[in-house]
Chains A and B, each alone.
Chain A
Amino acid sequence: MAAAETDPRPRGADAAGPVAGLLAAPLALLMRLVDWPMRALQRAVGERRMAYVFLLPNLGFFSLFVFLPLVINFVFSVTGGAGLFPSERPFVGAQQYAYLFDCASFLDPSSCREDHFWRGVYNTARFTVFQVTAMVLFSLLTAVVLNMKIRARGFFRAVYFFPVLLSPVVVALTWKWILQRDGLLNAAITSLGGERILFLVDPSWAMFWVVFVSIWAHMGCYTLILLAGLQAIPADLYEAAEMDATPRWRVFWRITLPLLWPNMVVVIVLALIRGVQTFDEVFVLTGGGPGTATLMIVHYIYETAFANQVQNFGLAAAASVVLGIVLFALTLAQLAASRRKGAA
């Protein structure tokens, strides 16, 4: 870490040391070997169609382990019973979907047959709005700060990243110790003369802490993406700005942010998607409670598919198809919006 400060431009290989160099050599050789068939291929298909060659391995895995399961998932959603193999399951048509949408009023979850599904939908929406906004702001701030010329930068990066390494069970355990009736936080509050707060029994507090803890646990990821993005901004732009003595906020607004935009899109899209998918820390921290105040949609799906005695794959699959469609639309809208902004 010290080297990063004294040497203004550490080169990857130097920082990695001789070990990496030694290990990289065979890899380079391998890649050179691959070049021969690739050249032949390029001659055969032409330069532009090489795109398909590059896509092929990824799409292969993808269709086998993502696309095919999605199709099976859809088959599950139109069949019923407790069977595992699609062939064992009787066809029920749209019955599972009808069941999900059996509501007197869509605005009042308790009027729905599957009230937990709808509570999950509303909770997830609320959670995602707060969490994504805060997550994007804080990870941008952190990335910019961590990209500054600061002492012990490697240490500080690690500090912000470490929570990411913890498993959800351990994250939840730690925060439960902090938040419970006689936890660390309440011990601090009472020693300062305050009133003890039951953070995990009060619905609003529970939602707040669920948002907080999930930001705590995942911010490191997004910060890293932005940090990498900041590195891609050509230095001469900043040099030019320095010559003109442009104020810093202006530099940030005029240079940093527009050039960081493609990576901001990654962060926003991923944060949104991860937000909607949030399940494991919340599951272990509040278990979806109090009541159903922090019950998330994926938690509902998971519980329907696994935790109940009759593993109701059909209903769970229907819920996940609905979720998938909504998310897909949301992501597309977001990308369209960001493209317009990026072009501007």
Chain B
Amino acid sequence: MQRKHWISAAALAAGLAWSGFAQAQTTVRIAWYSDGNEGEVVSDLLKRFEAQNKDIKVVLDQVPYKAITENLPVQLASGQGPDIARVVDLGGVARYALDLRPYLKDASYWEKNFGPFLPWMRPEGDSSAITGFMTQLTVSGPFVNKTLFEQSGIAMPGAKATWEEWGKAVKDVAAKAQAPFPLAMDRSGHRFFSVAISEGAKVFDEKGEPAVIDEGFKRGAKLVYDWHNNGVMKKELWGSVSGTAYRGANDEFKNAQVVMYQSGSWQIAQFDKTVGDAFDWIAVPAPCGSVGVCSGMPGGAGLVAIKTTKSPEAVAKVMDYLASEPVLSEFYARSLFVPGHLGIAAKGLDYQGASGPAKAALKVFSDQVAQLSPVAYKLQGYVNNRIIFNATISRLGQAISGEGTLDEAFKRIESDIAQQIAERKK
């Protein structure tokens, strides 16, 4: 009797056999993460590519973002990576990137249209490689709930208004409209450094080595720190998590609880869907610091070819196709991304599926690209920039939540950065 107790699954498995997968002639594998619908769009585009190129099979492995930040570096280091990957930590992956230049149909097309972004994806010390292009250029900047301004009867600060003026205005609006969050800012290095660079942070010394803590940085940090203490910002984002954890205020903004939300261009597609007609939301140009700089931070995700690929020609073919102007235009337009292609940006992109507010916001952010400070570009292109970002948010967050003072945070940021860069150079 008891023998029959044995769990049915055992016998079931005995009947199952595991079989391998057949290989196509040339297979190109792309590791791809998605924030919104971009995975769908690119797989549509790749289907068309496969129809034109019968000898190449492209497999789009859609992965959680976690796989890209945490596992991909380990896989790349052990030589197990994909052929192409969509990555955010461009500097970190650059070591494993393939120089496509010898395989591309027309390298000058790439230089002309992706020029400013190519250095972001180059290994340290390399000044000519073409390794990929930006699937999405993000620009950080604020969204404003215009309806709350109208309801409270307070005038919105103008185009060249400073962060301090905005801080005052949104606090008044929030008090009148009873919104709990006058100003919200993503817990992210990119968002903070838009403020810090506008306040005059230089980030690097004359030799190009990181010298993060300067007067501008301190002004920016103080601003954010004080905002938390006088109620302009709430501790839910910067004060409620530790380390390098990201926190956004999408939900709060959607529920009309945030007057001004310092985030970035990638939010547009989501706000378009979730806010709907509930209130008027607009993007505004980056506010200015006290030294007259008014800059956001560029960023985004690049599609990078990986050096361990067995078929660089096929990879280059796929990359050439995806980077070509009509294909890329369609990609940006359908996923509501700010173009990382100078030609397309210059012509202006028609976002056909987008609503009026979304189109307007996309225009604001696209126009911002030209206004970005050179420091912002340099920081984004710096190989170890995530070390700087991570140390900053981790330590600043601690100060904001009351664990230690700002000065202690500055010291810790400096030593964290120095230690990690030293470890990498070992």
Q: Is there contact, CB below 8 Å, between B397 and A90?
A: no
Nearest A residue to B74 by beta-carbon distance? A84
In the complex, chain A residues whose CB is within 8 Å of the CB of B401 = 203, 289-291, 293
CB atoms of B247 and A287 under 8 A apart: yes
Question: Which of B22-30, B126-134, B360-368, B418-426 is the contact stretch?
Answer: B418-426
Q: Contacts of A144 on B, CB cut-off 8 Å?
A: none
Q: Which residues of B contact A84 (CB under 8 A)?
A: 74, 77-78
Flag if B6 contacts A289 (CB, 8 Å). Answer: no
Query: In the assembled complex, how far is the CB of residue A12 from the closest CB belonging to chain B, in whole angstroms?
Result: 4
Stretch in contact with the other chain, from A22-30, A42-50, A210-218, A317-325: A22-30
Chain B residues contacting A21 (CB-CB under 8 Å) are 4
CA distance A45 to B384 in the complex (A): 61
Asked whether any CB of chain B lies closer than 8 Å to the CB of A338, the reply is no
> When chains A and B are docked, how far (Å) is the Cα of A26 from the Cα of B7?
11
Say whether A24 contacts B6, CB under 8 Å. yes
Is the Cβ of B236 less than 8 Å from the Cβ of A288?
Answer: no
Q: How many residues of B contact A (CB 8 A)?
A: 54
Q: Are B255 and A182 in contact, with the CB atoms below 8 A?
A: yes
**A19 on the B face (CB < 8 A):** yes
Closest to A17 in B: B8
Q: Across the interface, which residues of A come within 8 angstroms of B421, CB to CB?
A: 310
Q: Kindly count the residue-residue contacts between A and B in the assembled complex, taking CB atoms under 8 Å apart.
A: 162
Known A24-B5, A181-B236; contact A287-B424, beta-carbon cutoff 8 A: no
**B420, A312: Cβ atoms closer than 8 Å:** yes
| Complex partner residue of B240 from A12, A286, A299, A308, CB under 8 angstroms | A286
Chain A interface residue number, banded: 35 or more
A81 sits at the interface (CB 8 A) = yes
Chain B min CB distance to A234 (Å)? 17
Contact with A along B45-59 (1 / 0, CB 8 A): 000000000000000
The answer to whether the Cβ of B277 comes within 8 Å of any Cβ in the partner chain is: no
Scan A59-84; emit 1 where CB is below 8 A from any B CB, else 0. Answer: 00000000000000000000011111
Most buried by A among B236, B240, B402, B426: B240
Nearest CB to that of B180 among chain A residues? A181
Least Cβ–Cβ distance between A134 and chain B, in angstroms: 24
Q: Is B398 an interface residue (CB 8 A)?
A: yes
A82 to B419, CA, bound (A): 12
User: Do A82 and B236 touch (CB < 8 A)?
Assistant: no
Q: Cβ of A106: which chain B residues have Cβ within 8 Å of it?
A: none
Is B70 a contact of A306 with CB atoms below 8 Å? yes
Q: Which of A19, A291, A294, A306 is in CB contact (< 8 Å) with B239?
A: A291
Q: Do A286 and B4 have beta carbons less than 8 Å apart?
A: no
Taking CB atoms, residues of chain B closer than 8 Å to A272 are: none
Contacts of A190-247 to chain B: CB distance below 8 A: 198, 200-201, 203, 206
Q: How would residues 367 to 391 of chain B score, 1 for a CB under 8 Å from any chain A CB and 0 otherwise?
A: 0000000000000000010110010
When the two chains form their complex, are residues A288 and B243 in contact, meaning their CB atoms are under 8 A apart? yes
- The reply to whether the CB of B99 lies closer than 8 angstroms to some CB of chain A is no
B278 located at the interface, meaning its Cβ lies under 8 Å from any Cβ of chain A in the complex: no
| B residues near A23, Cβ cutoff 8 Å | 6, 8-12
**List of A residues within 8 angstroms of B73 by Cβ:** 311
Chain B contact surface mostly: helix
Question: Is the CB–CB distance between A287 and B8 below 8 Å?
Answer: no
Contact indicator A310/B420 (Cβ below 8 Å):
yes
Kindly state whether residue B342 has any CB partner on chain A within 8 Å.
no
Residue of A nearest to B384 (CB): A309
The answer to whether A248 has its CB under 8 Å from any CB of chain B is no
Bound CA–CA A20/B11 (angstroms): 9
CB distance from A226 to the nearest CB of B (A): 21
**A148 close to chain B: CB less than 8 A:** no
B-side contacts of A31, CB under 8 Å: 3
Q: Quick check: is A292 within 8 A (CB to CB) of the other chain?
A: yes
* B1 beta carbon closer than 8 Å to chain A: yes
Contacts of A110 in B (CB 8 A): 403-404, 408
Check B403–A20 contact: CB distance below 8 A: no
Asked if B244 is at the interface of the complex by the 8 Å CB criterion, the answer is yes
Interface bits B124-149 vs A (CB < 8 Å: 1, else 0)? 00000000000000000000000000
Cβ–Cβ contact A13 & B1, under 8 A: yes
- B398 partner, pick from A85, A291, A306, beta carbons under 8 A: A291
B242 within 8 A of A: yes
Determine whether A295 belongs to the interface, using a CB cutoff of 8 Å to chain B: yes
> Does A16 have its Cβ within 8 Å of any Cβ on chain B?
yes
A289, B8: Cα distance in complex, Å: 45
Q: Which residue of A lies closest to B385 (CB)?
A: A309
Cα distance, A21 to B4, chains bound together (Å): 5
Task: Say whether A11 faces chain B, with CB atoms less than 8 Å apart.
Answer: yes
Query: B241: CB under 8 A from chain A?
Result: yes
B3 touches A28 (CB 8 A): yes
Tell me which residues across on chain A come within 8 A of B235, comparing CB atoms: 198, 201, 290
* B257: nearest chain-A partner, CB-CB: A182
Cβ–Cβ < 8 Å partners of A290 in chain B:
235, 239-242, 401
Least CB distance from A312 to B in Å reads: 6
A72 CB, nearest partner CB in chain B, Å: 13
Q: Please name all residues of chain A whose beta carbon is closer than 8 Å to the beta carbon of B236 when the two chains form the complex.
A: 180-181, 198, 200-201
Complex Cα–Cα for A23 and B65 (A)? 41
Q: Which of A85, A113, A309 contacts B390 (CB 8 A)?
A: A309
Contact with A along B238-264 (1 / 0, CB 8 A): 011111110100000001010000000
Residues 98-120 of chain A, each 1 if its beta carbon lies under 8 Å from chain B, else 0: 00000000000010010110000
State whether A82 touches B423 (Cβ < 8 A): yes
Q: Does A129 contact B (CB under 8 A)?
A: no
Q: How far, in Å, is A111 (CB) from chain B's closest CB?
A: 11
Bound: A84/B245 CA distance, A: 24
Is A303 engaged at the interface, CB distance under 8 Å to the other chain? yes
Check A307–B69 contact: CB distance below 8 A.
yes
Please determine whether B4 and A289 come into contact, CB atoms closer than 8 angstroms.
no
CB distance from B212 to the nearest CB of A (A): 14
Q: Which of A24, A291, A292 contacts B8 (CB 8 A)?
A: A24
Contact sample, A vs B, 25 pairs, CB 8 Å cutoff: A11-B1, A12-B4, A12-B5, A13-B4, A20-B5, A25-B11, A26-B14, A27-B14, A110-B403, A113-B415, A180-B236, A200-B240, A283-B245, A287-B245, A288-B241, A288-B242, A289-B240, A290-B239, A291-B401, A292-B242, A293-B401, A294-B242, A303-B244, A309-B386, A310-B423
B residues near A (Cβ < 8 Å) are: 1-12, 14, 69-70, 73-74, 77-78, 89, 91-92, 180, 234-236, 239-245, 247, 255, 257, 384, 386-387, 390, 397-398, 401-404, 408, 412, 415, 420-421, 423-424, 426
The 8 A-B pairs at the shortest CB distance, nearest first, are namely: A287-B241, A288-B242, A291-B401, A287-B245, A81-B426, A23-B11, A309-B386, A84-B77
A312-B423, A315-B423 given; name 9 further pairs at CB < 8 Å. Answer: A23-B11, A24-B6, A26-B14, A81-B423, A180-B236, A286-B240, A287-B247, A289-B245, A306-B69
Query: Chain A residues in contact with chain B, CB under 8 A?
Result: 11-13, 16, 19-28, 30-31, 80-85, 90, 92, 110, 113, 115-116, 180-182, 198, 200-201, 203, 206, 283, 286-295, 299, 303, 306-312, 314-315
